[in-house]
Amino acid sequence: MELRHLKYFLAVAETRNFTQAAANCYVAQSALSQQIARLEKTVGAPLFSRTSRSVRLTAAGELLEPLARRILADVDNAQAAVDALAGLRRGRLRLGLVQTLAGSIDMVEVMAEYHARHPGIDFDVANAPSSEMTAAVLSGGLDVAVVGLGSHEVPAGLDHRLLGSDPLMVIVPHDHPLADRDVIDLADLPEGHQLIQFAQGTGLRHQVEAAFARAGVEPGRHFEVGQVYDMVRLAARGVGVTVVPRWSVFAAGSPLGPYPHGVLPDGARALRLADPAAVHDVSVVYDSKRLPPAAAAFLDVVERHGVVVERHADGVEPHTVS
């Protein structure tokens, strides 16, 4: 079994198309098909079920896919370890970044300092829902990810450091029945309200839905928006109400703020929630057993930029870093 066989196999598994996979790998389709056939002969089972219209993984292919990703990730980590002997002068950091702000830690400043310290390390940045990025760290597709999850939400097998815990706020238009309130409960929202939600699979979406569940009410009619900035602006224009982290609205790095006294565009209001558990946690997650040197150096820079609480996959909380 050769590494290129696994790379070709994953290319087909991802595209479900031999022609596209061959183009992505910069090889002729006939050559790719031949190498896949050799891999199937090596493992002793067909990996793909092919018809004139579709390509699907067989049971053997589904079993091999996560293993192949781990093997190739280990090869990347081995190369990174060798690069570390050269003082991190070259290599790459596969980094996942949540779209909401990470509390008091400015990730742009973190990345800028990291680049100044290790200019030879290239960033390979992914933006995706937190559930997808944690899965990618587990499979070896990402080295480290900043996700919108708290301690009890991080999947088993991953270590994490809590970067921030930000209260959630309800954004309502200026003429909303609750606009003159400073603090509300989600149960106070009028029946039949429209809720502007963040994308499915994100940490913020999960935390907002959990807050509604604690309040004993359904979120009501809702639709999804992929940017917090747009969620706030739509709420300000009276399209619905939305629930967002405080830092997304009032932090200096927010595209919307900071705005004084809870006053937002078009006179919208930001209302605090009475529920103390209604928070947006942001953590950096990684696998300490498979941590490349470039990722370890990134965690060191993160620590320099704020207070983080480190928790290992076994639940041990060794220290708080200031």
Residues 148 and 274 in one domain: no
Which residue range(s) make up the domain with 45? 3-71
| Better pLDDT: 257 or 288 | 288
pLDDT band at 77, cuts 50/70/90? confident
Residue recorded with tokens 């199937």: 40
User: Above 70 in pLDDT, residue 84?
Assistant: no
Residues 285 and 159 in one domain: yes
CATH number, domain with residue 315: 3.40.190.10
Amino acid 278: pLDDT:
93
Inside any domain, residue 264: yes
Residues 118 and 60 in one domain: no
Residues 206 and 146 in one domain: no
Residues 144 and 238 in one domain: no
Residues 48 and 64 in one domain: yes
Across 42-56, 121-135, 305-319, least confident range: 305-319
CATH number, domain with residue 27: 1.10.10.10
Residues 128 and 106 in one domain: yes
Residues 72/140, Cβ–Cβ less than 8 Å: yes
Inside any domain, residue 78: no
Determine the angle formed by the axes of helices 107-117 and 293-304, rounding to 10 degrees.
Answer: 130
pLDDT band at 306, cuts 50/70/90? low
Mean model confidence pLDDT for the chain: 84
Amino acid 309: pLDDT:
46
Count structural domains, the chain: 3
User: Above 50 in pLDDT, residue 169?
Assistant: yes
Residues 174 and 271 in one domain: yes
Amino acid 247: pLDDT:
79
Residues 296 and 148 in one domain: yes
Inside any domain, residue 77: no
| pTM of structure | 0.64
Residues 192 and 254 in one domain: yes
Residues 145 and 185 in one domain: no
Inside any domain, residue 252: yes
Amino acid 165: pLDDT:
85
Q: What is the 3-state secondary structure (H, E, C) of 84-137?
A: HHCCCCCEEEEEEECCCCECCECHHHHHHHHHHHCCCEEEEEECCCHHHHHHHH
pLDDT band at 311, cuts 50/70/90? very low
Residues 190 and 208 in one domain: yes
Instruction: Identify the three-state secondary structure at position 306.
Output: coil
Of the candidates 305, 251, 10, 33, which has an alpha carbon nearest to the alpha carbon of residue 141? 10
| Better pLDDT: 74 or 261 | 74
